[in-house]
């Protein structure tokens, strides 16, 4: 999955983030990579994390909230 975060958060590979689906289910996942480009307008960076196993609560294309 991809998510954006403010540049000041400075997440690193291996850091845990919590995702929450629309039904309230949540799961902790690890950051696997980050972009090297900072968006100059929003001062954000794109990060990536892998869901080890997809479930009905987190199907592909679902919008989730991310807490870091």
State the Cα–Cα distance between residues 49 and 46, nearest whole angstrom: 10
Backbone angles phi and psi of 9, in degrees to 5: -70, -30
Residue 55 binned pLDDT confidence (cut-offs 50, 70, 90) = low
State the Cα–Cα distance between residues 38 and 41, nearest whole angstrom: 9
Q: What is the pTM of this model?
A: 0.82
For the stretch 2-51, pLDDT in tens is: 999 999 998 999 999 999 988 888 889 999 999 989 999 999 999 999 87
Higher per-residue confidence, 68 vs 42: 42
Q: In the sheet where 26-34 sits, what is the strand order?
A: 2-6, 44-49, 26-34, 16-20, 65-67
């Amino acid at each position: 999955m991809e998510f954006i975060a403010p540049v000041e958060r400075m997440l690193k590979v291996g850091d845990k983030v919590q995702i929450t689906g629309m039904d309230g289910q949540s799961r902790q996942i690890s950051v696997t990579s980050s972009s090297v480009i900072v968006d100059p307008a929003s001062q954000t960076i794109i990060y990536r994390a892998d869901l080890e196993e997809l479930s009905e609560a987190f199907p592909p294309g679902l919008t989730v909230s991310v807490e870091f």
